[in-house]
Amino acid sequence: MAALAYNLGKREINHYFSVRSAKVLALVAVLLLAACHLASRRYRGNDSCEYLLSSGRFLGEKVWQPHSCMMHKYKISEAKNCLVDKHIAFVGDSRIRQLFYSFVKIINPQFKEEGNKHGNIPFEDKIASVKVDFLWHPEVNGSMKQCIKVWTEDSVAKPHVIVAGAATWSIKIHNGSNEALSQYKMNITSIAPLLEKLAKTSDVYWVLQECNDSYERVLQ
């Protein structure tokens, strides 16, 4: 009886479904998923990695997995191919210097963290024609403003990518006072138009300062 019921059920299914109908169902499912994805991107914006830093979880030590975005760990050859004939500038304090070292070590894992920590640090891979510079500007002040202003001039070669940020030193030196915060706001406001102008020709990223005490140890 069981075998008979199975055969009858199989015939019934085959009567309604065929290879062709299965393909049609699969196509409809794919189209629905694509429509949902496009609607989601239209609603949330074109950046599928919008949660890159704001939302995700750690899969293991130093392995961050953001929601709605797949991270790719670049090999040395891949990184060099992406950065051929590029100039990247890191401008800021100790936090930005750490980002500089992490970035350079993707291109050259043997690159050593040595030399004057409170000074400019150059890096160049002549074979891949990649240039990466760290420019020491621990505070948002006239010195940083002048550095950025030079790049806004038409006759000056501009970095293709600029990663900037500074706040830790201002917080530390001035004890996080309200006066220091007011001055910081004034300085960042005066620099903002220059960054906006520079963003028309370069990719500009400003690294925000976390509101906790964990950065005190990087002031060295």
Task: Summarize pLDDT for 166-210 with one digit per residue, the tens.
Answer: 988 877 777 767 887 888 889 899 999 999 999 999 999 998 876
State the average pLDDT over residues 39-43.
Answer: 58
- The answer, yes or no, to whether residue 159 has pLDDT greater than 90, is yes
Q: Which two tokens stand for residue 217?
A: 């140890």
pLDDT of res. 85? 92
pLDDT of res. 194? 94
The conformation of residue 211, written as its DSSP 8-state character, comes to S
pLDDT band at 56 (very low <50, low <70, confident <90, very high): confident
pLDDT of res. 215? 39
- The answer, yes or no, to whether residue 16 has pLDDT greater than 60, is no
Q: Which two tokens stand for residue 220?
A: 């060295």
Measured CA to CA, the distance from residue 15 to residue 91 in angstroms comes to 69
The conformation of residue 207, written as its DSSP 8-state character, comes to P
pLDDT of res. 4? 45
pLDDT of res. 134? 96
Measured CA to CA, the distance from residue 92 to residue 31 in angstroms comes to 47
- The answer, yes or no, to whether residue 147 has pLDDT greater than 50, is yes
Q: Which of these ranges, 25-29, 44-48, 57-61, 80-84, has the smallest mean pLDDT?
A: 44-48
CB 209 within 8 A of CB 171: yes
Q: Which residue has better confidence, 139 or 216?
A: 139
Greatest C-alpha distance within the chain? 90
What pLDDT digit, counting tens, does each position of 76-124 carry?
A: 889 889 899 999 999 999 999 999 999 999 999 999 888 778 899 999 9
Share of the chain above pLDDT 70, in %: 74
- The answer, yes or no, to whether residue 47 has pLDDT greater than 60, is no
- The answer, yes or no, to whether residue 6 has pLDDT greater than 90, is no
Q: What angle do CA 133, 136, 142 make, to 5 degrees?
A: 120
